[in-house]
Amino acid sequence: MMAETLRVHSMMGEDLLFLTDEKLRRGIEAMFFAYRAFTADPDLILADMDYGRAHHRALHFIHRDPGLTVTALLAVLGVTKQSLNRVLRTLIEDGLVESRVGRRDRRERLLYLTDKGTALERRLSEAQRARMRQAYRAAGPQAVAGFRQVLEAMMDPDTRAQYQSMKDLPE
């Protein structure tokens, strides 16, 4: 029993040795560079249209959950009502998003992608899916599971709950 306890403490100590400031800094830098690479292809497409990443995120989540309310999209994106209204106005005027009156509550606005919006969302996400697929295959299933665990552990509890509730949506 004593040897087992020592081994556990030794393993815990060894496990904690990797949490040096230098290793954490390298992880932060890897995340910055990975995010830059992850957004590079969509950014080029968006720039041609005078859109930004907020437009992409809105398209992504409206595609993910057709009929999403403006209020729910606000909560998911964590942006101000003013900035979301600017983004939605552009997407609606350009024929990418359709806003419909709610059936139960006529004050609600339900958001749907048009065919044009669906095509743009697909174009934006194809490169990202290809990049993720390539990275996941290279890293292997254990690393993918560990990566997701790290990402989820970085989220604050409310954000994690919000993310986990989205798993229930159809793919």
Query: What are the residue boundaries of the structural domains of the chain, listed by start?
Result: 33-131, 140-171
| Domain spanning 33-131, CATH class | mainly alpha
Q: How far apart are the first and last CA of the chain?
A: 48
Class of residue 138 by CB neighbours under 10 A (exposed 0-12, middle 13-18, buried 19+): exposed
With beta carbons less than 8 A apart as the criterion, state whether 89 and 97 touch.
Answer: no
For 74-120, the pLDDT digits (tens) are 999 999 999 999 999 999 999 999 999 878 877 889 999 999 999 99
pLDDT tens digit string along 106-162?
788 999 999 999 999 999 999 999 999 999 999 999 999 999 999 999 999 998 888
Q: Which residue has the tokens 């009156």?
A: 101
